[in-house]
Structure 1
Amino acid sequence: MRKGKIYFEEMADMVITGTFQLAGNIAPVNIMASPLAAWRRTIESLRNQVKILVEHDKDDKAAAKYEVVATAQDEESVTKYGLLEDVYKIDAEDAAEDQR
């Protein structure tokens, strides 16, 4: 999420350089050079489908409570690992504000 918006990006295409700068007059430090930064990807953090739902007016009982407004899925990963899904719910007012 950047500036209140959700972006979908291929993890293989993203290059992340972890740096930390304590103050403006001190050079940035590569945090990945630390032996404590030996982070590994696991299946627990893998998501191969993401859905964005908009929650409609809670008082209107006749209308559907949620509407799927966006879906992204990696079919190859679903075939290999099974469906691992994240669902994000946003209010209708927030969705309308984001579309402006």
Structure 2
Amino acid sequence: MIVEVLTGADERPEARVVAIDDLSRVALALGQVTDEEAAEVLARSGLGRLRDDGAALLDAAALRAAAEPRATAAEWAAQWDAMVERARAEGRLSEDGATIRVNVESAAGA
């Protein structure tokens, strides 16, 4: 699953959740947007926030709410739970389970 921040309609950055059925990883992919634009879009969408260390914190509940209604994979909810447990085991899940620390990468074509 990937949260993308890309330049959208009218050249305004927007966030979208893609690769919803691939829960083998979770990442934030930035297109040709500034860090300030990305931070503003993530905050406005409620999906998360950038950190200063090249990572981001994604809101687990908001991410699930954005993805689950569009999921088509069998057993998606169980795969989600397994992904969250992997994040916990890897130390990427906050203590309260509210946020998942993810890597920030370049979006395809950016």
TM (norm. structure 1) is: 0.28
Higher relative contact order (CA 8 A, sep 6+): 2
Larger Rg: 1
TM (norm. structure 2) is: 0.27
